[in-house]
Structure 1
Amino acid sequence: MVDDTDPFLSLDPQGADWDRLRVTGHHMLDMMFDNLRDIREHPVWQPLPDDMRSGFRHASVPEHGVDAATFGEAFRETVLPYSVGNRHPGFMGWVHGGGTPVGMLAEMLAAGLNANLGGRDHAPVEVERMVVRWAATLMGFPETASGLFVTGSSMANFIAVIVASRAAKDGLSLRKNGVGGRSLVGYAARSAHGCVSRAFDLAGLGSDALRLVPLDKTFRMDTAALKAMIAADRESGLEPFLVVGTAGTVDVGAIDPLDTIAGIAAEEGVWFHVDGAFGAMAALSPRFKEALSGLEKADSLAFDFHKWAQVPYDAGCAIVRDPAKHAAAFAQTLSYLSREDRGLAAGAPWFCDLGPDLSRGFRALKVWATLSVYGTHRLGKMVDHCCAVARHLAERVASEPTLELMAPVTLDIVCFRLRDPALTEEQLDHLNGEVVKDVQESGLAAPSTTRIDGHLVIRAAIVNHRTMAADVDRMVDAVLSFAAKRRSG
């Protein structure tokens, strides 16, 4: 006989413990609201103290629990002050969105609901379908396009590579026979994100099957070279099946000539995919949307709401123009997952038929909340402002005799470096790298570095809605100050 009288058998609070947990929950919420409100008063980033790092690395699995208030205090002391810093307006080094209070609340609601969106017939699934439809139409795709939310563009690009390979001639046979007997090759610019090469690796095609196309003088794909490479591969007996254009390259924010690439893909009969991890969100801006011309012709698109759209991590999205080809690449039938005409097992196709995940969280809720509360008009103004701040930074760099701009500013990424005719190229690389670390450790700002034409440069991505012109000026002042100290030392 089962004894279910022990109050600890359920993990829910009992009796008055609900009230105590409610107080703790409100305290945690206030803590996060206060932290976001006062974020400018804190360092952008600070290193985790050695004793705290050691505490995490050597902590034992708890056998007996503590109350939620004790856990909340541990979070406040050991995690909150030492996060990556992307919520801060001075964070500019990587393309990380800043998040919003509304997104935070939506994440809390999703966690409370604890829905699995792998499948079944329930409202959260319909919310995701709705937001996927919104995303498709925002990007110029038809309302009938397929799609789903994933962790980020790395997974979205992987899904696109899989769908493209299955859409190739006799591609569905790859699901049973594997890719070993085929010589499929794809193409992307040398500036493409590394996750595209990794997708080829994970798909079993091999990273060498991704041909890297040279860039033109504006850091965009050289489309004449693309055509020549496709012709050479066909002549060698290989099977071109995919070309990837990038909307917003990771280094300088360049946008490949998507319209031209779309035409080449159509002529060659290959799948056209766009990696728009952050740059696709320029579609929110009437001013910058034209720069994405051709994106609407893509067969598939990968992008992130957790970058420029400011949705909390994680919220990547994959869109596929042809729903049938999307489903054919992933659909499976297992007896315990049988679909019904009614009841909880109705509502096919399920999202587990469109990607590799069966267990899936309710990512769409925070996207729905963000689009509903802020609207595309306000989000578009935010995109415009980020680009305006980037142009302000470029102008500030141009006005400083010891700085030089290293690439055109297409959207919101500015690459520049310290210059000094008395230093060798190797010494300049070292100076720029050390100054960036100095600035990061000061807590004043957080730029990063990249390499352009072999030179190590300072990179600032203006993605956070909180970043203003004064913040980039503060970053430049810090760069100049630390450089002067290093030169004098």
Structure 2
Amino acid sequence: MLNATVPRLLRWFETLEDQPSHATECPPEHLAAFREPLPESGRPLEGLLDRLIDDVVPWSFNTAGPGYLAYVPGGGLPSTAVAELFAAITNRYAGVCAAAPVAVEIETQVLRWLCELMGMPKGALGVMTTGGSLSNFIGAVAARHDRLGEDLTGACAYVSSEIHHCMTKALRLAGIPSAGIRTVPVDDQFRLDPSALRALILEDRAAGKRPFLVCASAGTVNTGAIDPLTDIADLCADEDLWFHVDGAYGALFRLVPELEAPLRGVERADSLVLDPHKGLFLPYGTGVLLVKDLRALRAAHDADAAYLPPLNEGEEQVDFCNLSPELSRDWRGIRLWLPFMLHGIQAFRDALREKHELAIHAAEAIAQEPGVVLAHAPRLSLFAFRQTFEGLSLEQENRRNEDLLERINHHRRAMLTSTEIDGTFWLRVCVLHLRTHRERVDEALRIVREELRNPGG
């Protein structure tokens, strides 16, 4: 099977530079062809692989290609594919330490490394997940259990108006009613306003409510803004609130020494979310939750049954089934362990630095065009911009910018996406793909300039 699969993937991989950045207008007949009866007997592998390569993969966002500047790109690091192949074939179960003690130790060591890279205190650890959505949910459950216990009456959690939507979903799933999820205004740089946060907390306490958690962002998805993490950490310490940081997009930029300052404060989080499938260029499906106190995470998720092997209570050997909702889970740690061991951490630092510098280069070039405004300069590798026009209403300007995005993407050499903030339409650029380098960014800039200078299409 490998002899049939690998050559096809290599041929596909060699054409990535020339593939379109997106192609989702799939002909109806392609979709209809997959609405087929379940076969009673097998079919030749070669034909099935060709069908996947020819009829499935092309109709998509090209999330493996260098022109993918949309949303927050995932990676697709080949060494992780090797790790996943190894994990899938050996099929080791890593949910309970007794089932595969060395495999679990590898995963635990990866988590220790991540805690060290984030500057978290001795004893911090966590759990690997499928991504930021599950990590935020687990963090919300841990905070709720630690600060509220079984009584959720009057519970209040605080998020900024720029928080990722999965955080508000996580809080609702954790049992916090929508009325208890308090939205904090942001400043003119789209960062959570600590003064407004403090005022809301005091207002809620005076009304007899029970504030328990503040969620800050280490890189928002809309504009890449970084909340004032140190100020928020101080406030949480003063008010005895759980300090949760959604760093799924941006926290891993802390690996770059010159970017440590704007991210200062993540190390003080009670819980911190990372997405290695963003900042460490792994394939989709790899998230992390780090916690300052492992006991709080275990207390929220601890469960036992007579049919399970003996479970651990210490911090040296952990059972991941008691740190999250999952019992059945794959061996996730190898996805990071093999790339770290094979490439070394400096390779990841260098790649993140490159993406930061490319984003600055792109933002400065676009900002020089007449009528273009940025939401703010890139803090990490993401920025938002729009084209303004004298004499047009906001609605008319929005339509012009929507059309601009469509024209840029029509070239299919770079894919940008958009967002809307307070009724204003913005185009977004996020440089975070491992295969995005200066040549492709400059090509994208040529396209953007061309379309900016031709607003009539």
Q: TM-score range by the shorter chain?
A: over 0.9
Residue 325 (str. 1) matches residue 303 (str. 2)? no
Q: How does 1:108-147 map to 2 (within 5 A)?
A: 108-121=85-98, 122=100, 123-147=102-126
User: Kindly tell me: are residues 230 and 84 of structure 1, through their superposed partners in 2, closer, same or farther at Cα, counting changes over 3 Å?
Assistant: same
Residue 374 (str. 1) matches residue 352 (str. 2)? no
Shift of residue 144, structure 1, vs aligned partner:
2.0
Kept in 2: contact 1:252–1:407 (CA 8 A): yes
Distance in 2, Cα, partners of 1:206 & 1:340: 34
1:412 paired residue number: 381
* Aligned CA-pair RMSD: 1.9
Aligned mate of 1:437, from 401, 406, 409: 406
Residue 295 (str. 1) matches residue 272 (str. 2)? no
Aligned mate of 1:103, from 43, 55, 80: 80
2:230 is aligned with what amino acid?
A: D
Shift of residue 369, structure 1, vs aligned partner:
1.6
Shift of residue 482, structure 1, vs aligned partner:
4.4
Aligned mate of 1:260, from 228, 231, 241: 231
Aligned mate of 1:209, from 167, 180, 190: 180
Distance in 1, Cα, partners of 2:174 & 2:218: 23
2:440 is aligned with what amino acid?
A: D
Residue 50 (str. 1) matches residue 19 (str. 2)? no
1:6 paired residue number: none
Kept in 1: contact 2:216–2:229 (CA 8 A): yes
Quick check: 229-238 or 362-371, which moved more?
362-371
2:114 is aligned with what amino acid?
A: A
Distance in 2, Cα, partners of 1:333 & 1:422: 67
User: Kindly tell me: are residues 391 and 159 of structure 1, through their superposed partners in 2, closer, same or farther at Cα, counting changes over 3 Å?
Assistant: same
Encode CA deviations 1:260-299: one digit per residue, 9 max, x unaligned: 1111101101111110001111111011012111111111
Q: How does 1:13-28 map to 2 (within 5 A)?
A: 21=1, 25-28=2-5
1:185 paired residue number: 156
2:169 paired residue number: 198
Kept in 2: contact 1:440–1:446 (CA 8 A): yes
Residue 38 (str. 1) matches residue 15 (str. 2)? yes
Quick check: 305-314 or 59-68, which moved more?
59-68
Kept in 1: contact 2:105–2:317 (CA 8 A): no
1:246 paired residue number: 217
SS at match of 1:242: strand
1:91 paired residue number: 68
Shift of residue 125, structure 1, vs aligned partner:
1.3
1:12 paired residue number: none
Kept in 1: contact 2:75–2:284 (CA 8 A): no
SS at match of 2:288: strand
1:79 paired residue number: 56
Identity %: 33
Shift of residue 435, structure 1, vs aligned partner:
2.8
Distance in 1, Cα, partners of 2:356 & 2:318: 40
Shift of residue 216, structure 1, vs aligned partner:
1.2
Number of equivalences: 451
Quick check: 203-212 or 219-228, which moved more?
203-212
Distance in 1, Cα, partners of 2:56 & 2:454: 32
Distance in 1, Cα, partners of 2:285 & 2:261: 27
1:5 paired residue number: none
Unmatched segments (≥5 aa) in structure 2: none
1:355 is aligned with what amino acid?
A: S
Kept in 1: contact 2:97–2:318 (CA 8 A): no
Q: How does 1:324-473 map to 2 (within 5 A)?
A: 324-339=295-310, 349-421=318-390, 423-473=392-442
1:33 is aligned with what amino acid?
A: L
Distance in 2, Cα, partners of 1:313 & 1:415: 24
Encode CA deviations 1:335-372: one digit per residue, 9 max, x unaligned: 1114179xxxxx96411100001111122111112222
Shift of residue 434, structure 1, vs aligned partner:
2.6
Encode CA deviations 1:426-477: one digit per residue, 9 max, x unaligned: 1221122133233334311100001234310110001112212332332233
Distance in 1, Cα, partners of 2:226 & 2:138: 22
Structure with bigger gyration radius? 1
TM-score (norm: length of structure 1)? 0.88
SS at match of 1:147: strand
Kept in 1: contact 2:253–2:259 (CA 8 A): yes
Kept in 2: contact 1:311–1:370 (CA 8 A): no
Shift of residue 412, structure 1, vs aligned partner:
0.6
User: Kindly tell me: are residues 386 and 367 of structure 1, through their superposed partners in 2, closer, same or farther at Cα, counting changes over 3 Å?
Assistant: same
1:231 paired residue number: 202
1:280 is aligned with what amino acid?
A: A
Aligned mate of 1:152, from 131, 152, 157: 131
Encode CA deviations 1:300-322: one digit per residue, 9 max, x unaligned: 11110000210111100011111
2:385 is aligned with what amino acid?
A: F
SS at match of 1:459: strand
Kept in 2: contact 1:339–1:348 (CA 8 A): no
Quick check: 210-219 or 469-478, which moved more?
469-478
Kept in 1: contact 2:75–2:280 (CA 8 A): no
Shift of residue 210, structure 1, vs aligned partner:
1.5
